Structure 1
């Protein structure tokens, strides 16, 4: 009995220590975590909300109509687009619009559009990104980040086109409505607590955007520690206590219900909350991002990044062989990637450039990460391929940091799970504060 009592006593001490840590982690970060989680809950469905607010840009009626040949559609659209066409996004859904990717003309120092000669379509795929659909969807919300992050190439504009009529619907980056403004505010709150909107620096030498990022990043780290400590103190002393930790006693008083909501819902969502919080500081701290990449063995020093890799080139058409059409390119793609999916084709820069392709599966359980191909523009030969499932676990984990954070891992299925988990995460600071207040009100027991 002595040993049992000693073990129990030690466990109680450990549990009390983590309980105190859990309390202080929550109290320090509570308000910021509440704001970050609330805005994150809304932002899970950022793309869907934006599309619902401007359906004419994304949806078309297909009943009884025949699609225009893709090459003809591109040729018609190119004549009416002010800029350099660099690629095309072809959706699998027959009732979705086609997106023509293009770069707007650069303006000179006098504000006039430069008359640079169009040497053919061009765009490059970020080879270090494995985010698949997550990357594509970010193009729809490029206005959310006024400044381009270091090391990131500027994204192409997207002109939406009706594939049945050839009508140019408009550039999604130029959509102006209340929904887009609201989602921009949600993003600013989530990332920087809207400190990026304040022009004058709050602290000398520190950009407000960076300050906001540090605050949210620190709060997220404290939330991560809170999730870990919460899981430790969740484990009961006795076996019969497991049942209490897995259900909510709705017949109890409000204090008991509040405690059970915090305890039980926190347990059921702990894995998702851990994934969200462990990936969140990736965008706040350089040291955290570097540590993440080193952990998964994908870190490259700045000197290594500067070293150019062997550039893939297409066979120069000495015999006068013509460049492949888009339809021929699709046939070549589907031979290697024979599944239903959305296809993004990035055109070659010049006569020796290659075609870069990204294909994403579609469906309720479709993974967000896409497969990439590099093709010879004349022969269709596959010069390089990056199949996501064939990568090592560390490569997939490192490349999926954004998908893990926003819930776009396996399409709509994981989005629903993340949405519910975000709601729970939003409630945790509130229910936690009530638990703390109730404990403070307790009278000391008589000896």
Structure 2
């Protein structure tokens, strides 16, 4: 068996084994790519008119959002400001363990929308994309393993695609639309697979970084040229033996004011749960709304509101910046709308590859024998 035949066998059986998972993960990824744009068009209360007045403090927004949920402590909520022309949101889990998101006008506190995210279309799409609705421990290996196989298939597919002779190269770059359907299917699998390989590989790798953090750690180490940055891994801790005085203001308001002062250019500010006094309260400030790359990170004492740790984007290592960039790379939004379009097309092509590949395999197994010519029939008589 030649090397290329061995690669072909490997490509075939890996594809048949992982094809269904790759199809589902790629298709749901394509659907999820434009979730913000689609939700802006279809959901009420996503945008507001910018005003010259200051936005309300998080404690005010939390109080309004929880008015209909008196059993939910404000300290368990996630509060997010998305910029001057977008609604703020308060997210929490209610007494029935349902994930609720309340959208409010950040200037007036008016409730614009309340959603149960468990039944939200894009929440379901995201859950299928990430776990196939399987238990997390199982999904990690089913989805992660299939994505690893997909990366291997991209490499083996390029080996099989590579033309031996120069005159074949033009043919390998184009789809022969006027041919029979079997040839069109062959070209769709090979030509589109070639064009999408680099972007599909990037999407797959960034997805693997989310599933297997050890892979991301390795990529960060490479980005840092092998250098370690222990200070970036340092975790803020609360000294529970220290006697502290509670902040004069409500803790979320202290956090919000401090972050606005220290990261004045941030459009999006996310304040995490303030907790029960044992773990630091966290806050993240992002330069652009709905983009997660450029961010400053803060940790506060959960009682006094004292700033325990601040990590600014400008002072981060290349590896840390790569880690922050991972989600935006995975969704294509690192390059704005154009990047999303490219990621969408690459995901659609990735979803098509198991289909066209299976049709190829099925066609070869059930290929009809060519009718014998009269001369061949005469010779065999």
Work out which of the residue numbers 59, 64, 88 in structure 1 matches 2:47.
59
For structure 2, which runs of at least 5 residues remain unmatched after alignment?
Answer: 223-232, 371-375, 377-381
**Alignment correspondent of 2:342:** 417
How much is the aligned-residue C-alpha RMSD, in angstroms? 4.7
The change in CA–CA distance for 1:184 and 1:373 in structure 2 (over 3 A counts) is closer
Task: Report the more deviating stretch, 334-343 or 75-84.
Answer: 75-84
Work out which of the residue numbers 344, 362, 386 in structure 1 matches 2:270.
344
- Structure 1 residue 323, shift from structure 2 partner: 4.3
- Alignment deviations for residues 211-267 of structure 1 (CA, whole Å, 9 cap, x no partner): 455433333222221111112222222334333333323344433332222222212
C-alpha distance in 1, partners of 2:139/2:131?
4
Structure with greater helix percent: 2
**TM-score, scaled relative to structure 2:** 0.70
The change in CA–CA distance for 1:371 and 1:30 in structure 2 (over 3 A counts) is same
Instruction: Classify the secondary structure of the residue corresponding to 1:89.
Output: strand
**Alignment correspondent of 1:99:** 89
Instruction: Classify the secondary structure of the residue corresponding to 1:166.
Output: coil
For structure 1, which runs of at least 5 residues remain unmatched after alignment?
Answer: 1-11, 108-141, 144-156, 197-207, 299-306
**Alignment correspondent of 1:8:** none
C-alpha distance in 1, partners of 2:317/2:55?
41
- Alignment deviations for residues 395-426 of structure 1 (CA, whole Å, 9 cap, x no partner): 34455555544445455443322211111011
C-alpha distance in 2, partners of 1:402/1:187?
13
**Alignment correspondent of 1:159:** 102
The change in CA–CA distance for 1:261 and 1:40 in structure 2 (over 3 A counts) is same
Equivalent runs, 1:1-150 vs 2, <5 Å: 13-49=2-38, 52-56=41-45, 58-60=46-48, 62=49, 69-70=56-57, 73-74=60-61, 77=64, 80=67, 82=70, 83-86=72-75, 88-94=79-85, 96-100=86-90
C-alpha distance in 1, partners of 2:257/2:126?
39
Q: Is the 8 A contact 1:369 1:388 kept in 2?
A: yes
Instruction: Classify the secondary structure of the residue corresponding to 1:35.
Output: helix
Work out which of the residue numbers 153, 156, 165 in structure 2 matches 1:229.
156
The change in CA–CA distance for 1:354 and 1:323 in structure 2 (over 3 A counts) is farther
Instruction: Classify the secondary structure of the residue corresponding to 1:263.
Output: helix
Instruction: Classify the secondary structure of the residue corresponding to 1:269.
Output: helix
C-alpha distance in 2, partners of 1:434/1:103?
46
Number of paired residues?
A: 356
- Alignment deviations for residues 267-310 of structure 1 (CA, whole Å, 9 cap, x no partner): 221122213333545676xxx55455456459xxxxxxxx9955
C-alpha distance in 1, partners of 2:63/2:132?
44
